[in-house]
């Protein structure tokens, strides 16, 4: 993995998941419509940070033929995210969600996604070319939500295609994003997660999600479990608290930056993952990458919705800037 993330050759990154129609409910009761989804948010922020670097970012999903599906693809292209690996299912529509936020910026989501096109992305003979194309990417990124929304057939086929791509040199990056309501039960979810972790190179883990899914009581338990699964680089996200890192070079802790006013925590984790991955792709060390994640997430939560305006994107630390601010960990 080190050679890839320090390579001077152009890297193709494919992000797998679901883009949905996003409705943001405002205090006066009005609603603003845009688009979002965990891996789509990460794709857009990743491309913003890596623009002009030679890194290619594609979004891999399924959509319908309706006007909203066409509009969301146009939105990706405006952001420089490629849509050449999008499967079109004429009889399907995009999913939809509504964001409600309280006075402290914490959000509540209402979802309508049962018949969404992305759910059937890897079903049937029409998915064979898309599945085979995954091996064309140097990095493949997906989340627990990417897994959860698929049919059983689609999930099994995707896991097989990811394993095949990895055997040919692709690197798998996984953001745990566990949502209990998307799974029949936690036991089934754990089986699917562990099947993916067995072929994962980098894991970006939200602490609360893994506590809910695996029952971990300490970060050490989590790191040990991921090491047993074969994951070499683990980033433990803990919201406004410090980020804990476990890599082949040891453990470290990267402190979060103070945010004066939280408006909306939507996409905080997605943007952190984008910042971290972008820095690693651009050859930064893990600690500096964690500061990229903290800084971007800190900017995102000061704006409403998942995607902040381009002019609000923060300046990122230079390679090595994080080294003086890390807190060493004792193994």
At 322, list the tokens.
């994080």
291 burial (CB, 10 Å; 0-12 / 13-18 / 19+) is buried
Asked if residue 143 lies in contact with residue 176, where contact means CB atoms within 8 angstroms, the answer is yes
Euclidean distance between CA atoms 276 and 267, whole angstroms: 14
In this structure, are strands 12-16 and 86-88 parallel, antiparallel, or unpaired? Answer: unpaired
At 214, list the tokens.
């695996």
Burial profile 262-271: b = 16 or more Cβ within 10 angstroms, e = fewer: eebbbbbbbb
Euclidean distance between CA atoms 44 and 274, whole angstroms: 8
- For every residue of 154-169, DSSP letters joined together read HHHHHHHHHHHHHHTT
Asked if residue 197 lies in contact with residue 224, where contact means CB atoms within 8 angstroms, the answer is no
Q: Judge whether 270 counts as a catalytic residue.
A: yes
The candidate with the shortest Cα–Cα distance to 17, out of 165, 143, 151, is: 143
Distances (CA, A) of 109 to 23, 119, 230, 265: 10, 19, 34, 12
Asked if residue 81 lies in contact with residue 57, where contact means CB atoms within 8 angstroms, the answer is yes
Burial profile 33-48: b = 16 or more Cβ within 10 angstroms, e = fewer: eebbbbbbbbbbbbbb
- Out of 210, 264, 270, 285, which one is annotated catalytic? 270
52 burial (CB, 10 Å; 0-12 / 13-18 / 19+) is exposed
Euclidean distance between CA atoms 256 and 260, whole angstroms: 13
DSSP bridge pairs for 59? 15
State the catalytic residues. Answer: 270
């Amino acid at each position: 993995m080190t050679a890839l993330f320090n390579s001077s050759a152009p890297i193709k990154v494919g992000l797998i998941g679901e883009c949905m129609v996003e409705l943001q409910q405002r205090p006066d009761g009005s609603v603003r419509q845009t688009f979002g989804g965990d891996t789509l948010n990460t794709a857009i922020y990743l491309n913003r940070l890596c623009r002009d670097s030679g890194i290619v970012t594609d979004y891999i999903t399924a959509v319908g033929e309706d006007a909203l599906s066409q509009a969301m693809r146009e939105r990706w292209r405006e952001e420089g995210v490629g849509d050449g690996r999008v499967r079109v299912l004429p009889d399907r529509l995009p999913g939809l969600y509504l964001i409600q936020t309280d006075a402290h910026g914490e959000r509540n989501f209402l979802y309508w996604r049962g018949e969404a096109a992305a759910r059937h992305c890897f079903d049937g003979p029409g998915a064979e070319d898309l599945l085979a194309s995954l091996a064309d990417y140097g990095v493949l990124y997906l989340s627990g939500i990417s897994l959860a929304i698929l049919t059983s057939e689609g999930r099994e086929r995707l896991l097989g295609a990811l394993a095949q791509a990895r055997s040919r040199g692709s690197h798998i990056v996984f953001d745990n994003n566990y949502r209990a309501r998307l799974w029949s039960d936690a036991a089934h979810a754990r089986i699917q997660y562990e099947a993916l972790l067995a072929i994962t190179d980098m894991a970006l883990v939200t602490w609360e999600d893994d506590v809910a899914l695996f029952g971990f009581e300490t970060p050490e338990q989590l790191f040990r479990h991921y090491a047993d699964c074969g994951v070499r680089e683990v980033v433990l996200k803990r919201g406004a608290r410090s980020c804990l890192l476990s890599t082949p070079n040891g453990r470290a802790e990267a402190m979060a930056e103070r945010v004066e006013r939280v408006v909306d925590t939507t996409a905080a984790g997605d943007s952190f993952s984008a910042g971290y991955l972008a820095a690693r792709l651009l050859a930064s060390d893990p600690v500096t990458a964690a500061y990229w994640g903290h800084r971007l997430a800190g900017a995102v939560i000061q704006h409403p919705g998942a995607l902040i305006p381009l002019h609000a994107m923060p300046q990122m630390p230079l390679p090595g800037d994080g080294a003086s601010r890390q807190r060493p960990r004792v193994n």
